[in-house]
Homo-oligomer: A and B are copies of this chain.
Amino acid sequence: MIKAINHIAIVVPDFESALPFWQDALGLQLSHTEDVPSQAVEVAFFPMGDSEVELLRPTTPDSGVAKYLAKRGAGMHHIALEVDDIYAMLARLKEKGVRLINEQPVPAAGGKLAAFIHPEAANGVLVELYQVG
């Protein structure tokens, strides 16, 4: 049911200081940036293979991502695993007693459906389920 690592998301304070490493030093291609008001972030997308590195820049001071940045500094925020049926996966996880942040899918970048699993259930990693199809 899980097909790929869709993306890894890295929280950064601003793009001006973050882009030079990923774009100029590593030579990754920036495909586009997108404002995602539902998550209060602007996202810079670097596709590679069947995955992406995404840089998240908080656009408000009081969102979850902004608080994470204020508390822990820049760094890994979450990983997103691509699923073919997010409803079936959420039902499976609920049945197995896995702690979820979103019991129902929420809208994500690109109009996709996503749901977060609680880091306590996933060895301290914030895992996003992400339905592409």
Enumerate chain A interface residues (CB-CB to B < 8 A): 1-5, 8, 10, 12, 18, 21-22, 24-28, 48-51, 53, 55, 73-76, 79, 81-82, 89, 92-93, 96, 98, 119, 121-125
Interface of A, helix, strand, loop or mixed by DSSP: mixed
User: Can you pick out 21 interface pairs between chain A and chain B where the beta carbons lie within 8 Å of each other?
Assistant: A2-B26, A2-B48, A3-B49, A4-B48, A4-B49, A5-B49, A5-B51, A21-B121, A21-B122, A21-B123, A25-B92, A25-B121, A26-B89, A48-B81, A49-B49, A53-B79, A55-B123, A73-B124, A75-B119, A76-B76, A76-B124
Contacts of A73 in B (CB 8 A): 124
